[in-house]
Amino acid sequence: MASLAQQFAGLRCPPISISRLTERAATFSKPKRAANFVVTAKAVAISNAQTKEREKLKQLFEEAYERCRTAPMEGVSFTLEDFHSSLDAYDFNSEIGTRVKGTIFMTDNNGALVDITAKSSAYLPVQEASIHRIKRPEEAGIFPGMREEFVIIGENEADDSLILSLRSIQYELVWERCRQLQAEDVTVKGKVVGGNKGGLVAVVEGLRGFVPFSQISSKSTAEELLDKELPLKFVDVDEEQSRLILSNRKAMADSQAQLGIGSVVTGTVQSLKPYGAFIDIGGINGLLHVSQISHDRVSDIATVLQPGDTLKVMILSHDRERGRVSLSTKKLEPTPGDMIRNPKLVFEKAEEMAQTFRQRIAQAEAMARADMLRFQPESGLTLSSDGILGPLNSDLPAEGLDLSDAPPADESDGISEKESD
């Protein structure tokens, strides 16, 4: 151990030389100076390239300026006249009342922006988007991309944009349709939306028409008829005066004229009662009594009919003064009980069964008149070879017999009918 210590003690480190450190520092500093030189050289090269590019662009601009000054139309495929004619093609009259074509390109809750190829876009307010009351343009089917014809109704002074309307054009179309319906004497449905001391206000085809109380067939008050639909006919259609006069009495009279005893009409079940069903037949409510539904006994009407069902019924009687119409489907059954087991067959065979029924009634009426001749020979009436009295028509008049107790078409059904009643 002592010898090892002596060996370490004998080791000596030479002193650090200041000159050697200086040389090393100089060695490390030399590459850095070279790198700085390379960066500076590159910057000078880039600066020279940019200068050349600027000189080139400057030369191009100077050549373009000289060409525009000396020969402005050189290389242009169209003339100045062509340019002006192109502008005229997109020019339009912006006066109020002018119709223009446009494309919707943006909508919001207040309206829509429309491109009409003008210097600025036009605006369609939501209240001018439809003749109906809407809260958003989408409710009137207005979406971006829709192209339509508009009418100019004003100008926004803030940005010189035009204000457009679809409502005005729709009103013109509606008035034209009302004039056509009046000429064709068509019955329309109108919803009662209000009233005053002179009559009712009803909406027809989007227009508010007036129905005087003298032209209402029922004795109901305005409050009772509010929000209900009435059959109406046009009395006066005057677009210039914005006047639309309607009549419920005229519509009801025409409908009732078609309700001949024994005729078949199509109706819709409105409501059910324990004693029968009320059927809407062209704006008139008729009663289908439970005993007139089928030859078979009906204990629960709901098992046979439901509100909203469409069916064909025969007119049995019509009290015009009291406004009551009695109906029957029992008379239209090909076989007893078909309204319960096969109502579709009754619907299909309704006209055929009604015709047979009317012929039997006509023959029965002729025989009754023939019996009367035996006691009144002075009447001058005679029977034909077929046993028909005079020129009797198979179609009965509007006022006729009450057919509620008439026998069925099939002779064998007479017994079953009495038993079922």
**Does residue 184 surpass a pLDDT of 80?**
yes
Average pLDDT of the chain?
Answer: 76
Between 78 and 267, the more confident residue is 267
- Tell me whether domains 98-170 and 185-254 share a fold: yes
- Which class for 342: exposed (0-12), middle (13-18), buried (19 or more C-beta within 10 A)? middle
For 185-254, which CATH class?
mainly beta
Helix (H) or strand (E) holding 100: strand 99-108
Domain locations in the chain as residue ranges = 98-170, 185-254, 259-356
CA distance 123 to 115: 9
The superfamily in CATH containing domain 259-356 is: Nucleic acid-binding proteins (2.40.50.140)
98-170 folds as OB fold (Dihydrolipoamide Acetyltransferase, E2P) (2.40.50)
Helix (H, G, I), strand (E, B) or coil at 183: helix
pLDDT, average across residues 128-143: 89
Return the minimum-mean-pLDDT range out of 70-74, 183-187, 305-309, 397-401.
Answer: 397-401
**Does residue 37 surpass a pLDDT of 50?**
no
The identity of residue 281, as a single letter, is I
The identity of residue 417, as a single letter, is E
pLDDT, average across residues 338-349: 89
User: Which tens digit of pLDDT belongs to each residue from 221-260?
Assistant: 888 888 888 889 999 999 888 899 999 888 877 766 666 7
User: Which tens digit of pLDDT belongs to each residue from 54-109?
Assistant: 888 888 888 877 877 777 767 666 666 766 666 555 555 678 888 888 999 999 99
Helix (H, G, I), strand (E, B) or coil at 206: coil
DSSP, residue by residue, 343-399: HHHHHHTHHHHHHHHHHHHHHHHHHHHHHHHTT-GGG---B-TTS-BSS--SSPPSS
* Number of H-type helices and E-type strands within the chain: 10, 15
| Core vs surface per residue 100-115: b (16+ CB within 10 A) or e | bebebeebeeebbbbe
User: Which tens digit of pLDDT belongs to each residue from 368-394?
Assistant: 777 666 555 444 544 444 444 444 343
CA distance 153 to 219: 44
Helix (H, G, I), strand (E, B) or coil at 96: coil
User: Which tens digit of pLDDT belongs to each residue from 137-164?
Assistant: 998 889 999 999 999 999 887 777 889 9
